[in-house]
Amino acid sequence: MFSRIAYAFRETWESFRRNITLTAAAVLTSAVSLLLVGATFLIQRAFENLLVQWRGDVEMIIFVRSDASAEQIALVDSVLRASPTIIDVEKLRYLNKTESYEEAKRIFVGDPVTLSLLAPETIPTQFKVVPLSDDPTLVRSLSDQYRTLPGVEAVALAEDEFEVISTLSNFIRVVTLITSLVLLLVAVGLIWNTIHTAMFARRREIEVMKLVGATNWFIRVPFMLEGLLQGFIGGVVSCGGLWLLNSAWTNGVTGFKPGTGISSLVVPDSYLTSVMFILLAIGALVGAVGSAIAATRFLDV
């Protein structure tokens, strides 16, 4: 058993050295495509931060003053429930102080100054409203009405604040995702090609191996390992790139004025780490799949 493993690794390394240019090309392509995949993840998450308070078709948020009495809150609630033809009562949600503070922590992740001004005791609570009507003027006139209720601090409409960003984020997400998928396919193709070349260079050896009774798996494994390694190294390079990109972005964002909303476009380190693990896994998988296809395809000696 040990001699087989040693054999596989030795062969992998030899082949790696022999095809250094092609290998480098395959590694770089997979790195670039994986970097884009990673960027897609981060962009998506960043926009999610920005849009977190509008998640689930919420079109209107009624902020209630932190010092509002229980009666005032109950009044707002009953007024909202009084128009079931315009407001989706089923989806009406009230976030108390703790919940609102949790949400704020996500929105202001890149803006510690603003976050430090907030506290669970002083934060406004909020009603999240999903309108049934598509008519923007109706929703707007409704919001003017709610603004005058006692205890209400402000009413925010999605239309005013995040419609553009939400469309933009969808667009960017689709574009980066498609580009990264195309590049991933190119990476599979390049890995496939390097493995093909490696196998062609060693066709005589493979022929002898088959004639003396080596199993197909025995012949295939070093090539698959080679492809897997190429994908994995591509993954490592892309992780480095992603980390640099994310640090630059995080540093850049702190330069913005607090409260502009841009500061929420920062992702927590824990998320970055999990994206990196995903990239390594995708890289290894892509490499193994590309080389497995090539190895199977060219094993008919």
Query: Using CB under 8 A as the criterion, which residues of the chain lie in contact with other proteins when the complex forms?
Result: 3-4, 7, 204-205, 207-216, 218-219
CB-nearer residue toward other proteins: 82 or 201: 201
**Shortest CB 204 distance to other proteins, Å:** 7
Name which of 11 and 59 has its Cβ closer to other proteins: 11
Taking the least distance from each CB to other proteins, the nearer of 20 and 212 is: 212
Minimum distance from residue 231 beta carbon to other proteins (Å): 26
Residue with smaller CB distance to other proteins, 111 or 226:
226
Cβ 198 to other proteins shortest distance, Å = 15
- In the complex with other proteins, which residue's Cβ is closer, 213 or 255? 213
What's the closest the beta carbon of residue 210 comes to other proteins, in angstroms? 7
Minimum distance of other proteins from residue 2's CB (angstroms): 8
Smallest separation (angstroms) from other proteins to the CB of 230 = 23
Q: What is the 3 state secondary structure string of the chain?
A: CHHHHHHHHHHHHHHHHHCHHHHHHHHHHHHHHHHHHHHHHHHHHHHHHHHHHHCCCCCEEEEECCCCCHHHHHHHHHHHHCCCCCECHHHCEEECHHHHHHHHHHHCCCCHHHHHHCCCCCCCEEEEECECCCCHHHHHHHHHHHHCCCCEEEEEEHHHHCHHHHHHHHHHHHHHHHHHHHHHHHHHHHHHHHHHHHHHHCHHHHHHHHHCCCCHHHHHHHHHHHHHHHHHHHHHHHHHHHHHHHHHHHHHHHCCCCCCCHHHCCCCHHHHHHHHHHHHHHHHHHHHHHHHHHHHHCCCC
Which residue, 70 or 211, is less far from other proteins as judged by CB? 211
